Homo-oligomer: A and B are copies of this chain.
């Protein structure tokens, strides 16, 4: 097995501790919640080091008791109402920009921010650049599922409202890489979201994507499950669900809304009478375990895929548990050299698929040649 070459400083030397870059500002609960999450995370990862970006006078008192944290002074803050374009033009002194630049400059292996999603994507694209072969970066989330790992990967859940066939191919490769490094699934099963599983169904770009992904799957080391439906998202039929950012965002929020509805109705029904209340009391451990199993804070962290570095967007409303979960994910991905592996995988496979579009049928000769030059991911 060959190792991927280091790429823009995102691959840590194997024996050194992972360094993470954490934007302390911009979350709904303020830097206190972020630092509380950081404290939890550092207890779990005794080797990890963190660069914490934000106003020094605010952060210094908060981190006094934490080892392995370096405050990087950035006086300004991106707020939720800032427009991405404003931040791109005038955001150089913000904690978000500073956090992104730490990865750009090779000082850290991954970024975590609870800030404004649009601004974080804009600054990340500007400073880290898109990967060769990627036209539209995507946001991937982990979705509670019946899979043995407990989760499926779904992308794009909102980076871009459009995706053409080649974007969907890139999402397949990136999603498979993420399932491999993030969930430890050696050979992920990838499904393309549609309104039916028959091959003639859906929009033209989905039929085109179906062909492209089918061709790319063997070289991308994933299995293509073909079209899947909304009901398959939390199933164990697939590990990765690929869709455009409009559909993905609606599906994600619909799933969250449905879970909230059921949990609220369950609570109402179980507090409606003495038997229900007794039952709720008896089963409180079971209910707590179920709540933990589908707790959105446990899977806190949308990952931006397709950039020259690993960027993790934590929920704006994340509390200490949520921030710690996002940092753990960043740590796992940073340690695995995820950014470089993903870059290598996408560069080889997308180029190949583009050749196959241009040349008609892919020939075994150029196929073999391309695959030979691509570093293996694992």
Q: Footprint of B on A, CB under 8 Å? A: 144-146, 158, 161-162, 193, 195, 202-203, 229-235, 243, 245-247, 249-262, 264-266, 269-270, 272-273, 275-276, 278-283, 285-287, 289-290, 293-294
Contacts and interface: CB of A to CB of B under 8 A. Distances in A.
A265 B162 CA distance: 34
Contact of A258 (B245, B259, B275): B259
Nearest to A144: B261
Contacts of A289: 269
A252 B230 CA distance: 7
Given A272-B286, A286-B273, A231 B245 contact: no
A5 B269 CA distance: 46
A251 B230 contact: yes
Given A231-B256, A279-B280, A279-B281, 7 more contacts: A145-B261, A146-B261, A162-B203, A230-B251, A266-B290, A269-B287, A278-B283
Q: Decide if the interface of chain A is mainly helix, strand, loop or mixed.
A: helix
A286 B271 CA distance: 9
A279 B269 contact: no
Contacts of A247: 246-247, 250
Given A254-B255, A255-B254, A257-B233, A161 B195 contact: yes
Nearest to A162: B203
Given A276-B283, A286-B272, A230 B253 contact: yes
A260 B262 CA distance: 11
Contacts of A230: 249-257
Contacts of A281: 279
A269 B250 contact: no
Contact of A229 (B195, B229, B253, B280): B253
Nearest to A251: B254
Contacts of A272: 286
B231 A254 contact: yes
Those 4 A-B pairs whose CB atoms lie nearest each other, nearest first: A230-B253, A279-B283, A230-B254, A231-B257
Given A247-B250, A254-B254, A278 B270 contact: no
14 contacts: A146-B261, A195-B246, A195-B250, A230-B253, A230-B254, A231-B257, A243-B250, A247-B247, A254-B254, A265-B293, A269-B287, A269-B289, A270-B286, A278-B283
